[in-house]
A and B are shown apart, each in its own frame.
Chain A
Amino acid sequence: MAIFYILLLFMIIAAFIAVETKYLLGAVICVGAIGFGASIMFLFLQAPDIAITQIVVEVLALIILIRACISRELTFISGPREFFGVVVSVVIIFVIFLAGIKILETLPDFGTAIFAEVPNAASQTYIKEGLVKTGAANLVASVILDFRAYDTLGEATVLFTAIIGATVILRKKTKKLLEEAE
Protein backbone atom coordinates (compact mmCIF):
# COMPACT_ATOMS: atom_id res chain seq x y z
CA MET A 1 0.00 0.00 0.00
CA ALA A 2 2.98 2.28 0.63
CA ILE A 3 3.77 2.39 -3.09
CA PHE A 4 0.41 4.11 -3.70
CA TYR A 5 1.24 6.93 -1.33
CA ILE A 6 4.74 7.31 -2.79
CA LEU A 7 3.27 7.49 -6.31
CA LEU A 8 0.57 9.89 -5.16
CA LEU A 9 3.17 12.15 -3.51
CA PHE A 10 5.29 12.00 -6.68
CA MET A 11 2.32 12.98 -8.84
CA ILE A 12 1.29 15.82 -6.51
CA ILE A 13 4.84 17.21 -6.45
CA ALA A 14 5.00 16.97 -10.26
CA ALA A 15 1.66 18.79 -10.52
CA PHE A 16 2.90 21.59 -8.25
CA ILE A 17 6.11 21.95 -10.28
CA ALA A 18 4.12 21.94 -13.53
CA VAL A 19 1.98 24.81 -12.28
CA GLU A 20 4.74 26.84 -10.64
CA THR A 21 7.71 26.49 -13.00
CA LYS A 22 8.60 29.30 -15.38
CA TYR A 23 9.86 27.02 -18.17
CA LEU A 24 7.24 25.73 -20.57
CA LEU A 25 9.19 22.57 -21.50
CA GLY A 26 9.70 21.68 -17.84
CA ALA A 27 5.99 22.08 -17.18
CA VAL A 28 5.16 19.79 -20.10
CA ILE A 29 7.60 17.13 -18.85
CA CYS A 30 6.07 17.35 -15.37
CA VAL A 31 2.60 16.80 -16.85
CA GLY A 32 4.03 13.72 -18.59
CA ALA A 33 5.41 12.50 -15.26
CA ILE A 34 1.92 12.76 -13.75
CA GLY A 35 0.51 10.69 -16.60
CA PHE A 36 3.13 7.97 -16.30
CA GLY A 37 2.59 7.86 -12.52
CA ALA A 38 -1.11 7.36 -13.18
CA SER A 39 -0.36 4.52 -15.59
CA ILE A 40 1.83 2.75 -13.00
CA MET A 41 -1.00 3.20 -10.51
CA PHE A 42 -3.47 1.56 -12.93
CA LEU A 43 -1.01 -1.31 -13.30
CA PHE A 44 -0.90 -1.89 -9.54
CA LEU A 45 -4.73 -1.73 -9.41
CA GLN A 46 -4.78 -4.73 -11.84
CA ALA A 47 -6.06 -2.76 -14.81
CA PRO A 48 -3.33 -3.35 -17.41
CA ASP A 49 -5.52 -2.41 -20.39
CA ILE A 50 -6.19 1.06 -18.96
CA ALA A 51 -2.49 1.39 -18.10
CA ILE A 52 -1.57 0.66 -21.74
CA THR A 53 -4.15 3.20 -22.96
CA GLN A 54 -2.82 5.77 -20.51
CA ILE A 55 0.78 5.25 -21.69
CA VAL A 56 -0.17 5.54 -25.38
CA VAL A 57 -2.23 8.69 -24.84
CA GLU A 58 0.47 10.16 -22.63
CA VAL A 59 3.25 9.54 -25.16
CA LEU A 60 1.17 11.08 -27.97
CA ALA A 61 0.20 14.12 -25.91
CA LEU A 62 3.77 14.55 -24.70
CA ILE A 63 5.22 14.44 -28.23
CA ILE A 64 2.68 16.99 -29.50
CA LEU A 65 3.17 19.31 -26.51
CA ILE A 66 6.98 19.11 -26.64
CA ARG A 67 6.89 19.82 -30.37
CA ALA A 68 4.70 22.85 -29.68
CA CYS A 69 7.08 24.04 -26.93
CA ILE A 70 10.34 23.56 -28.83
CA SER A 71 9.23 25.94 -31.57
CA ARG A 72 8.65 28.55 -28.87
CA GLU A 73 11.82 28.35 -26.78
CA LEU A 74 14.60 26.70 -28.72
CA THR A 75 17.77 25.97 -26.72
CA PHE A 76 20.94 24.55 -28.23
CA ILE A 77 23.50 22.54 -26.28
CA SER A 78 26.96 21.70 -27.55
CA GLY A 79 30.34 20.26 -26.54
CA PRO A 80 30.58 17.85 -23.58
CA ARG A 81 26.94 18.45 -22.56
CA GLU A 82 25.70 17.24 -25.91
CA PHE A 83 27.95 14.15 -25.69
CA PHE A 84 26.65 13.41 -22.18
CA GLY A 85 23.06 13.74 -23.37
CA VAL A 86 23.61 11.37 -26.29
CA VAL A 87 25.29 8.76 -24.06
CA VAL A 88 22.46 8.91 -21.50
CA SER A 89 19.77 8.57 -24.19
CA VAL A 90 21.50 5.58 -25.82
CA VAL A 91 21.95 3.84 -22.45
CA ILE A 92 18.27 4.38 -21.52
CA ILE A 93 17.07 3.11 -24.91
CA PHE A 94 19.31 0.02 -24.57
CA VAL A 95 18.02 -0.75 -21.07
CA ILE A 96 14.38 -0.41 -22.24
CA PHE A 97 15.19 -2.66 -25.22
CA LEU A 98 16.63 -5.38 -22.93
CA ALA A 99 13.61 -5.11 -20.61
CA GLY A 100 11.30 -5.42 -23.63
CA ILE A 101 13.02 -8.63 -24.74
CA LYS A 102 12.62 -10.08 -21.23
CA ILE A 103 8.91 -9.11 -21.14
CA LEU A 104 8.21 -10.56 -24.60
CA GLU A 105 9.64 -13.90 -23.46
CA THR A 106 7.12 -14.12 -20.61
CA LEU A 107 4.10 -13.45 -22.84
CA PRO A 108 1.80 -16.44 -23.50
CA ASP A 109 1.68 -17.94 -26.99
CA PHE A 110 -0.39 -16.26 -29.66
CA GLY A 111 -4.04 -17.25 -29.32
CA THR A 112 -3.81 -18.18 -25.64
CA ALA A 113 -6.09 -16.07 -23.45
CA ILE A 114 -4.35 -14.28 -20.60
CA PHE A 115 -6.85 -15.58 -18.01
CA ALA A 116 -5.78 -19.14 -18.86
CA GLU A 117 -2.25 -18.28 -17.71
CA VAL A 118 -2.94 -15.98 -14.76
CA PRO A 119 -4.99 -17.81 -12.09
CA ASN A 120 -6.77 -14.80 -10.54
CA ALA A 121 -7.08 -12.49 -13.50
CA ALA A 122 -9.89 -9.94 -13.36
CA SER A 123 -11.38 -11.09 -16.67
CA GLN A 124 -11.98 -14.57 -15.23
CA THR A 125 -14.18 -13.04 -12.53
CA TYR A 126 -16.12 -11.09 -15.15
CA ILE A 127 -16.82 -14.17 -17.25
CA LYS A 128 -17.81 -16.38 -14.32
CA GLU A 129 -19.87 -13.92 -12.25
CA GLY A 130 -20.92 -11.29 -14.78
CA LEU A 131 -24.49 -12.56 -15.15
CA VAL A 132 -24.93 -13.30 -11.47
CA LYS A 133 -23.54 -10.03 -10.18
CA THR A 134 -25.04 -7.60 -12.69
CA GLY A 135 -27.95 -9.51 -14.27
CA ALA A 136 -26.96 -8.33 -17.75
CA ALA A 137 -26.85 -11.03 -20.43
CA ASN A 138 -24.49 -8.92 -22.57
CA LEU A 139 -21.12 -9.31 -20.86
CA VAL A 140 -19.70 -6.21 -22.53
CA ALA A 141 -22.49 -4.07 -21.09
CA SER A 142 -21.91 -5.52 -17.64
CA VAL A 143 -18.20 -4.71 -17.87
CA ILE A 144 -18.45 -1.16 -19.25
CA LEU A 145 -21.42 -0.06 -17.12
CA ASP A 146 -20.90 -1.98 -13.90
CA PHE A 147 -17.41 -3.37 -13.29
CA ARG A 148 -15.62 -0.61 -15.19
CA ALA A 149 -18.19 2.18 -14.93
CA TYR A 150 -15.52 4.71 -13.93
CA ASP A 151 -13.93 4.20 -17.34
CA THR A 152 -17.24 4.95 -19.05
CA LEU A 153 -17.71 8.05 -16.90
CA GLY A 154 -14.27 9.21 -18.02
CA GLU A 155 -15.09 8.55 -21.68
CA ALA A 156 -18.38 10.44 -21.37
CA THR A 157 -16.49 13.33 -19.77
CA VAL A 158 -13.97 13.33 -22.62
CA LEU A 159 -16.80 13.48 -25.17
CA PHE A 160 -18.54 16.25 -23.23
CA THR A 161 -15.33 18.28 -23.01
CA ALA A 162 -14.69 17.81 -26.73
CA ILE A 163 -18.16 19.15 -27.58
CA ILE A 164 -17.66 22.12 -25.24
CA GLY A 165 -14.33 22.83 -26.93
CA ALA A 166 -15.84 22.65 -30.41
CA THR A 167 -18.75 24.94 -29.55
CA VAL A 168 -16.47 27.43 -27.78
CA ILE A 169 -13.98 27.59 -30.64
CA LEU A 170 -16.76 28.08 -33.20
CA ARG A 171 -18.52 30.49 -30.86
CA LYS A 172 -19.23 33.53 -33.01
CA LYS A 173 -21.41 31.69 -35.48
CA THR A 174 -22.98 29.58 -32.74
CA LYS A 175 -23.99 32.62 -30.76
CA LYS A 176 -25.70 34.10 -33.82
CA LEU A 177 -27.60 30.86 -34.32
CA LEU A 178 -28.67 30.74 -30.67
CA GLU A 179 -30.05 34.29 -30.94
CA GLU A 180 -32.02 33.31 -34.01
CA ALA A 181 -33.47 30.28 -32.28
CA GLU A 182 -34.73 32.19 -29.24
Chain B
Amino acid sequence: MKGMTIIVKTISSWVKVLIFLFGIYIVLFGHLTPGGGFSGGVILASCYVLLMLAYGREFAEKNLSLPVASKLDCVGALLFAAIALCGLLYGAAGFFWNFIQWEYLADKETALHLVSAGTIPLSNIAIGLKVGASLFLVVLVLSIFRPDMSVLDTDEKE
Protein backbone atom coordinates (compact mmCIF):
# COMPACT_ATOMS: atom_id res chain seq x y z
CA MET B 1 0.00 0.00 0.00
CA LYS B 2 1.70 3.17 -1.16
CA GLY B 3 1.13 6.69 0.05
CA MET B 4 -0.30 7.82 3.37
CA THR B 5 -2.91 6.34 5.73
CA ILE B 6 -6.55 5.58 4.85
CA ILE B 7 -7.74 8.75 6.63
CA VAL B 8 -5.67 11.03 4.44
CA LYS B 9 -6.66 9.09 1.34
CA THR B 10 -10.39 9.33 2.04
CA ILE B 11 -10.29 13.02 2.91
CA SER B 12 -8.18 13.91 -0.11
CA SER B 13 -10.46 11.93 -2.43
CA TRP B 14 -13.34 14.13 -1.27
CA VAL B 15 -11.43 17.39 -1.26
CA LYS B 16 -9.62 17.03 -4.60
CA VAL B 17 -12.78 17.77 -6.62
CA LEU B 18 -13.49 20.94 -4.65
CA ILE B 19 -9.89 22.14 -5.02
CA PHE B 20 -9.96 21.48 -8.76
CA LEU B 21 -13.28 23.30 -9.15
CA PHE B 22 -12.01 26.24 -7.12
CA GLY B 23 -8.89 26.43 -9.31
CA ILE B 24 -11.01 26.49 -12.47
CA TYR B 25 -13.20 29.22 -10.96
CA ILE B 26 -10.17 31.33 -10.05
CA VAL B 27 -8.79 31.00 -13.59
CA LEU B 28 -12.07 31.68 -15.41
CA PHE B 29 -13.16 34.64 -13.26
CA GLY B 30 -9.68 36.14 -13.05
CA HIS B 31 -10.75 39.30 -14.87
CA LEU B 32 -13.70 39.95 -12.51
CA THR B 33 -12.66 38.83 -9.02
CA PRO B 34 -9.28 38.63 -7.31
CA GLY B 35 -7.24 35.85 -8.83
CA GLY B 36 -6.05 35.03 -12.30
CA GLY B 37 -3.91 32.67 -14.25
CA PHE B 38 -0.99 32.42 -11.85
CA SER B 39 -2.92 31.85 -8.63
CA GLY B 40 -5.47 29.58 -10.31
CA GLY B 41 -2.74 27.52 -11.90
CA VAL B 42 -1.04 27.07 -8.54
CA ILE B 43 -4.34 25.81 -7.05
CA LEU B 44 -4.81 23.38 -9.96
CA ALA B 45 -1.26 22.09 -9.49
CA SER B 46 -1.77 21.76 -5.73
CA CYS B 47 -4.72 19.41 -6.41
CA TYR B 48 -2.42 16.99 -8.23
CA VAL B 49 0.34 17.46 -5.65
CA LEU B 50 -2.19 16.49 -2.96
CA LEU B 51 -3.03 13.35 -4.91
CA MET B 52 0.66 12.58 -5.23
CA LEU B 53 1.27 13.02 -1.52
CA ALA B 54 -1.75 10.99 -0.46
CA TYR B 55 -1.69 8.12 -2.97
CA GLY B 56 1.94 7.99 -4.08
CA ARG B 57 3.59 9.11 -7.30
CA GLU B 58 2.25 6.33 -9.53
CA PHE B 59 -1.39 7.20 -8.89
CA ALA B 60 -0.85 10.89 -9.70
CA GLU B 61 1.04 9.90 -12.83
CA LYS B 62 -1.88 7.71 -13.92
CA ASN B 63 -4.10 10.82 -13.74
CA LEU B 64 -1.69 13.23 -15.38
CA SER B 65 1.39 11.57 -16.83
CA LEU B 66 4.66 13.38 -17.43
CA PRO B 67 4.39 13.59 -21.27
CA VAL B 68 0.83 14.92 -21.03
CA ALA B 69 1.86 17.48 -18.40
CA SER B 70 4.81 18.70 -20.48
CA LYS B 71 2.54 18.97 -23.53
CA LEU B 72 -0.02 20.99 -21.52
CA ASP B 73 2.82 23.25 -20.39
CA CYS B 74 3.89 23.85 -24.00
CA VAL B 75 0.28 24.35 -25.14
CA GLY B 76 -0.24 27.02 -22.49
CA ALA B 77 2.94 28.86 -23.41
CA LEU B 78 2.18 28.70 -27.14
CA LEU B 79 -1.43 29.82 -26.58
CA PHE B 80 -0.24 32.89 -24.66
CA ALA B 81 2.28 33.74 -27.38
CA ALA B 82 -0.39 33.15 -30.06
CA ILE B 83 -2.80 35.57 -28.35
CA ALA B 84 -0.03 38.16 -28.33
CA LEU B 85 0.77 37.50 -31.99
CA CYS B 86 -2.93 37.78 -32.96
CA GLY B 87 -2.84 41.35 -31.66
CA LEU B 88 0.09 42.00 -33.96
CA LEU B 89 -1.59 40.41 -36.99
CA TYR B 90 -5.06 41.86 -36.42
CA GLY B 91 -4.26 45.52 -36.40
CA ALA B 92 -1.48 48.04 -36.50
CA ALA B 93 -1.55 48.62 -32.73
CA GLY B 94 1.05 45.90 -32.20
CA PHE B 95 2.07 43.03 -29.99
CA PHE B 96 -0.34 42.23 -27.14
CA TRP B 97 -3.05 44.49 -28.52
CA ASN B 98 -6.39 43.60 -26.91
CA PHE B 99 -8.03 43.10 -30.32
CA ILE B 100 -11.24 41.32 -29.18
CA GLN B 101 -12.07 44.14 -26.76
CA TRP B 102 -11.55 46.92 -29.27
CA GLU B 103 -13.04 45.22 -32.34
CA TYR B 104 -16.11 43.48 -30.91
CA LEU B 105 -16.82 44.55 -27.33
CA ALA B 106 -15.90 48.26 -27.21
CA ASP B 107 -19.35 49.64 -28.04
CA LYS B 108 -21.29 47.13 -25.90
CA GLU B 109 -22.02 47.26 -22.19
CA THR B 110 -19.97 44.26 -21.11
CA ALA B 111 -18.43 45.49 -17.86
CA LEU B 112 -18.66 42.91 -15.01
CA HIS B 113 -19.93 40.21 -17.40
CA LEU B 114 -18.15 36.87 -17.77
CA VAL B 115 -17.63 37.50 -21.48
CA SER B 116 -15.78 40.78 -21.30
CA ALA B 117 -12.26 42.22 -21.36
CA GLY B 118 -11.36 40.67 -24.72
CA THR B 119 -8.16 38.65 -24.61
CA ILE B 120 -7.66 38.86 -20.83
CA PRO B 121 -9.73 35.75 -19.91
CA LEU B 122 -8.12 33.80 -22.77
CA SER B 123 -4.66 34.81 -21.53
CA ASN B 124 -5.73 33.81 -18.01
CA ILE B 125 -6.69 30.34 -19.24
CA ALA B 126 -3.40 29.96 -21.13
CA ILE B 127 -1.34 31.05 -18.12
CA GLY B 128 -3.39 28.86 -15.79
CA LEU B 129 -2.68 25.81 -17.98
CA LYS B 130 0.98 26.71 -18.17
CA VAL B 131 1.55 27.42 -14.48
CA GLY B 132 -0.48 24.43 -13.30
CA ALA B 133 1.25 21.96 -15.59
CA SER B 134 4.74 23.31 -14.94
CA LEU B 135 4.40 23.41 -11.13
CA PHE B 136 3.09 19.83 -11.20
CA LEU B 137 6.06 18.91 -13.45
CA VAL B 138 8.54 20.41 -10.98
CA VAL B 139 7.16 18.37 -8.08
CA LEU B 140 6.91 15.23 -10.23
CA VAL B 141 10.47 15.50 -11.56
CA LEU B 142 11.88 16.22 -8.11
CA SER B 143 10.00 13.27 -6.62
CA ILE B 144 11.29 11.01 -9.40
CA PHE B 145 14.81 12.15 -8.59
CA ARG B 146 14.40 11.45 -4.90
CA PRO B 147 16.21 8.16 -4.34
CA ASP B 148 14.82 7.05 -0.99
CA MET B 149 11.15 7.11 -2.04
CA SER B 150 11.07 3.28 -2.20
CA VAL B 151 12.38 3.04 1.36
CA LEU B 152 9.34 4.95 2.59
CA ASP B 153 7.04 2.65 0.64
CA THR B 154 8.51 -0.51 2.15
CA ASP B 155 8.08 0.94 5.63
CA GLU B 156 4.38 1.25 4.95
CA LYS B 157 4.02 -2.47 4.19
CA GLU B 158 5.09 -3.63 7.60
A: residues with CB less than 8 A from B are 131, 133-138, 140-142, 144-146, 149-150, 152-153, 156-157, 159-160, 162-163, 166-167, 170, 173-174, 177-178, 181-182
Contact = CB atoms under 8 A, between A and B. Distances in A.
Contacts of A133: 98
A32 B47 CA distance: 40
A155 to B, nearest CB: 8
A170 B70 CA distance: 14
A146 B67 contact: no
Contacts of B32: 136-138
B36 A178 contact: no
Contact of B134 (A137, A142, A149, A160): A160
B112 interface: yes
Query: Closest 9 interchain pairs by CB?
Result: A136-B117, A149-B96, A136-B31, A135-B117, A163-B134, A170-B145, A141-B31, A145-B120, A135-B116
Contacts of B101: 134-135
A136 B112 CA distance: 7
A170 B105 contact: no
Interface residues of B, number: 42
B66 A149 contact: no
Contact of A135 (B35, B110, B124, B127): B110
Contacts of A182: 67
A134 B32 CA distance: 12
Contact of A137 (B98, B112, B130, B138): B112
Given A152-B127, A153-B84, A159-B131, A144 B36 contact: yes
Nearest to A168: B141
Contacts of A167: 70, 137, 141
A174 B111 contact: no
Contacts of A144: 36
B66 A178 contact: yes
Interface string B19-36: 000000000001111111
